[in-house]
Structure 1
Amino acid sequence: MFTHSEPGHKWRRCADGGTLSFERRERRRQRKRGRELKTIAQNAACQKVDKILFRNALVVDPEKGSQTKSDVVVEGGKFEEIGKIDATGFDGKVVEVNGKVLCPGLIDMHVHLRQPGREDEETVESGALAAMAGGFTAVCPMPNTDPATDTAEIVGFLKERAQDLLVDVYPIAAVTRGRAGEELTEMGSLVEAGAVAFSDDGDPVATAGILRRAMEYVRMFDVPIIEHCEDKTLSRGGAMNESAVSTRLGLPGIPGISEDVTVARDIEVAAFTGAKLHIAHISTANAVELVRQAKKRGIHVTCEVTPHHFTLNDEVVSSFDSNFKMHPPLRTQADVAAMLEGLKDGTIDVIATDHAPHSIEEKEVEFDAAPFGILGLETALGLVMKQLVHPGILTLPQAIAKMTSNPASILRLQRGVLRKGAAASVTIFDPDVAWTVDKSALKSKSKNTPFDGWNLTGRVVGLYSKGRWWPAETE
């Protein structure tokens, strides 16, 4: 039996005195709870199909930057044909798309599924339901769980949980054991188990020395280090962005410089080692400019922004609603403008949600005592359409690329494209339909969204993934 004694890992003893492994403990817990959701494939009315024709779609190809009216045939789980197709005599399932958008399945490269450790807030299954509702066919859970995702065993556990789900799960493993910032994880075995990147998310990699060693290792596997950029000696104790607003509200601030100095450090270590660096949830104008200049220098750096950081500014915290508390915090309107400009000029490569479920009990406390984090999976597409595409900040293909082919390229995932012979995952959505966010109707176990009551545009019609078709309108 596999045993472990790394920091942060909790073990129980079997009746015979042996060690009960993490995986077996989780299985017992799930059996005791009655396997709350079984599989998404069953609960979400998925239809297994070997051959399917999507007719009359607005096909958005992020690689080509194009959008054309076309048909798409998928057979045996792969794209077979894209173009004008005569459906006469077609011997598979036919889906009439009626001019709605068909694109590669959306990818969220930054989510928190809370499993293991906080299954009351989210599980792999419930997170997959939320992902489906938001149009995502792949998600990448961060390792700040309890225990942390720092062993091949836990990576394997997450992969196994997702095996029968419509949504693919690509775990991101911890850089250091227990995310403690001291000893590197066994990166080779983690990659072999299925980890697609490394991060101590929730914290930065503790020191430049440890970061250098980690980057030298990950170069061997051609995977990125994903950094939560925050100098905690500058931010510790803060609850919101340090600004005139925080002063007025009497809340302790988190200065933008805490992000900027860590971004600068990480870029220079990446330049020195030649490793791939990805900046998570970028939020300050200075950080965007640092990435912009690093790209001009030829450094292997990419970055992501969340919908809340290109939509909201720190003025909304005046309500003291803890659903406006996230990490990094909402910044100034000038920072929001810099996010939009970074998206427009290509400095910002990816739109990711940082989906962070929290229980009602945790969030319904004083603002400075509440945990950081909000939901994101189910509102991201609507915010992208409303805030970026319809106002003309991004074209539809540009926006889709930041949610499909770009994250796939960064993480070396064999998806995010519309190519004959490629593995097929598809998102179909109506880009113009209006809908209102109702937190009580969200699929996530948690309800901590700042967008409750917002009117958004763009909603999922259906998904195809793993040889299954899921028509969202049946839900």
Structure 2
Amino acid sequence: MDSGKILIKQAKIVDPNSSHHLQVKDILIENDVVIEIADSIDAKDAQVVEHDNLHISPGWFDLRANFCDPGHEEREDIESGIHAAIFGGFTGVAVSPETSPAIDSKAAIEYVYQRAEEFPVNVLPYGSLSKGLQGKELSEMYDMYQSGAVGFSHGKKPVANAALIKLALLYGKEFAPPIHVFSTDESLAYKGQMHEGEVSTYLGLKGIPALAEEVTLLRDLHLSEYAENAIHFMAISSESGVSLLRNAHSLGKPFTADVALANLIFTDEALDTYDSNLKVSPPIRAKKDREALIKALNEEIIQVITSDHTPVDVEYKKCEFDQADFGMITLESFFGALGNLREDGLNLEQIIKCIAINPRKVLGMETPSVEVNSWGEFTLFDPDHKWTFGKEHIQSKSRNTPFIGKELTGKPLGIINNNILVWMAEK
């Protein structure tokens, strides 16, 4: 709902950048700008937002999701992806270039913006590092950047061509945000179905070793150092990968990194039912890997948690595990699933940094703040609300989620962006 004035009553502010951090305040937004924060505010003609245990933070921003548009609109399109993002509490999403055709041109960047312009979620496209995601020839990076590409990646398509990564790092450092790389050696991961370990042996499934992540991650760290340009590592999944990043951090090497939701929530032991909805890339790994990832978030060796939302057609999930596609939809269940991690040592303030503040830092963007004169881009939520995720909560066109029937902790209640309030407390 568009409103000239929005008055938020008695909300606890979770924003480390705000002078009101962890305080309960009334907040008045007018024409997309915070104009007052006080213990109590009365405002005529304002739309009033009230709710038990109401919290507010900078709008959540997902660093990576796949909206499959153009090319696979039967899985997801930009509009359905936006609806999933809204339900998940996001005001911004950066979308993968893994479409058909790939997002590898000025026209493709403009297409995404045109499709998303009428909605209260900022959808920002990555440009493909290479033409057609083929990993051979560098794409027209500068033209895409000028047209609004938020960064450059190859999605989940590993780049075996080290010279291409080197060239992208050298060429892009004058104008572009960090290059995003998915560190997996395809030859080591070939035909792998899950994490290589005791569980894969027991289940009789070919494993994907952590070594596949290690060798490519180490290569890309060296390429970044050679090019004297920062690099962003997507979807770190292993204890050994974390160790390499921790060492690089101690040496002062410039990088950022993210972890996908699935790798924080699940371990390979959950695959004993052969649930193909848990088949993701990179694979969910062992307990020690999950624990290392949580520790790395607290140490800010890894700075961002992504949804890694990846819709898959039902026929490519309801089949034998080794025939199923990789991917999981996660936008709608994202915050509630993360809430369960608070028992594992990841507190609410750190979660908000990882899903609202740090994603924008990675991309070189400004972050809204719950502060007078900031623009009004916020997420409203109850971090303690327990609820059961059901099919009725899915907004995506796809249904490939393992969260149906699971109790989650924490629920988005609404978003405010572009002077539009979307209130979902009763859904």
TM-score, length basis structure 2: 0.96
Deviations 1:90-133 (A, max 9, x none): 44222224441111111101100010111001010001111111
CA distance in 1, matches of 2:243, 2:290: 13
Q: CA deviation at 1:407?
A: 0.5
Q: For 1:79, which of 31, 34, 51 is the aligned residue?
A: 34
CA distance in 2, matches of 1:329, 1:69: 41
Q: For 1:59, which of 13, 24, 30 is the aligned residue?
A: 13
Letter in 2 for 1:294: A
Residue 208 (structure 1) aligns with: 162
Contact 1:408 1:416 in 2 (8 A): no
Name the SS for the 2:416 alignment partner.
strand
- The yes-or-no answer on 1:297 pairing with 2:251 is yes
Deviations 1:275-315 (A, max 9, x none): 22111111000111111221222222111112211111111
CA distance in 1, matches of 2:184, 2:368: 30
Q: For 2:410, which of 426, 433, 458 is the aligned residue?
A: 458
- The yes-or-no answer on 1:346 pairing with 2:300 is yes
Contact 1:62 1:398 in 2 (8 A): no
Name the SS for the 2:310 alignment partner.
coil
Segment drifting more, 431-440 vs 160-169: 431-440
Residue 395 (structure 1) aligns with: 347
CA distance in 1, matches of 2:406, 2:368: 29
CA distance in 1, matches of 2:155, 2:281: 11
CA distance in 1, matches of 2:344, 2:271: 28
Q: For 1:404, which of 356, 366, 369 is the aligned residue?
A: 356
Q: For 1:172, which of 126, 130, 148 is the aligned residue?
A: 126
Deviations 1:309-357 (A, max 9, x none): 1111111112111111000011111101101111121111001010000
Name the SS for the 1:204 alignment partner.
coil
Aligned positions of 1:58-207 closer than 5 A: 58-63=12-17, 66-87=21-42, 89-207=43-161
CA distance in 1, matches of 2:290, 2:41: 47
Segment drifting more, 74-83 vs 335-344: 74-83
Letter in 1 for 2:408: L
Residue 279 (structure 1) aligns with: 233
Name the SS for the 1:402 alignment partner.
helix
Residue 473 (structure 1) aligns with: 425
Name the SS for the 1:435 alignment partner.
strand
- The yes-or-no answer on 1:306 pairing with 2:270 is no
Name the SS for the 1:173 alignment partner.
strand
Aligned positions of 1:236-247 closer than 5 A: 236-247=190-201
- The yes-or-no answer on 1:232 pairing with 2:190 is no
Residue 446 (structure 1) aligns with: 398
CA distance in 1, matches of 2:127, 2:425: 35
Letter in 2 for 1:444: S
Look at both structures and tell me which one has the larger radius of gyration over its CA atoms: 1
CA distance in 2, matches of 1:78, 1:274: 39
Q: Tell me, which stretches of 5 or more residues in structure 1 are unaligned? A: 1-46
Supply the RMSD in Å over aligned alpha carbons.
1.5
CA distance in 1, matches of 2:89, 2:17: 19
Letter in 1 for 2:26: D
Letter in 2 for 1:441: H
Q: CA deviation at 1:418?
A: 2.7
Name the SS for the 1:48 alignment partner.
coil
Residue 217 (structure 1) aligns with: 171
Q: CA deviation at 1:421?
A: 2.5
Letter in 1 for 2:134: A
Name the SS for the 1:214 alignment partner.
helix
Contact 1:435 1:456 in 2 (8 A): yes
- The yes-or-no answer on 1:360 pairing with 2:314 is yes
Name the SS for the 2:138 alignment partner.
coil
Letter in 2 for 1:263: L
Contact 1:415 1:424 in 2 (8 A): no
Residue 383 (structure 1) aligns with: 337
Aligned residues: 426
Deviations 1:240-264 (A, max 9, x none): 1111111111111111100111111
Contact 1:55 1:98 in 2 (8 A): no
Q: Tell me, which stretches of 5 or more residues in structure 2 are unaligned? A: none
Name the SS for the 2:14 alignment partner.
strand
Letter in 2 for 1:361: E
| Segments of 4+ moved more than 4 angstroms | none
Name the SS for the 2:114 alignment partner.
helix
Aligned positions of 1:400-439 closer than 5 A: 400-439=352-391
Q: CA deviation at 1:71?
A: 1.8
Q: CA deviation at 1:83?
A: 3.2
Contact 1:166 1:468 in 2 (8 A): yes
Contact 2:145 2:176 in 1 (8 A): no
